[in-house]
Structure formats: C-alpha cells, structure tokens
Amino acid sequence: MRLYPIWNIVYDDQYEGLVDALLTSRGLTRDALKVGPEVLHPPELLLDMSVAVNRLE
C-alpha cells in the first residue's frame, strides 16, 4: 500500500520544477502567484467585524 498517490502530470515540455509544470498545465505562470494587498478585500466588509474589533479592545 502506498502512502502517497502517484501523480500523473500531463505536460510534455521541459520545465524547471514541479511547480512550473503544474502551473503551466493549468495555464498559469509564476507571476500569477505574485499578489499584493490590492487583491485583498477590505476587512471592514467582513461580517461582524465591528463585533470582533470590540472584543479585541
């Protein structure tokens, strides 16, 4: 019995590593992983954020 399943990565080209192969097979690049605060939602919009803030104060 195997501890881990066998991964069949459908990607025939050369790649630098497993992450690159997986990203390319999904049509992504490493640049897609580079995100910053501009993609985050404002925390004030979270449900009951004011309740959480009051609890911390």
The residue among 56 and 25 whose pLDDT is bigger is 56
Tell me which residue of 18, 19, 21 sits closest to 33, measured CA to CA.
19
pLDDT value, residue 54: 93
Q: What pTM does this model have?
A: 0.44
Query: How far is it between the farthest Cα atoms of the chain?
Result: 56
Is the separation of the CB atoms in 11 and 21 below 8 Å?
yes
Tens digit of each residue's pLDDT (9 = 90 or more) over 16-43:
888 888 888 888 888 888 888 888 888 8
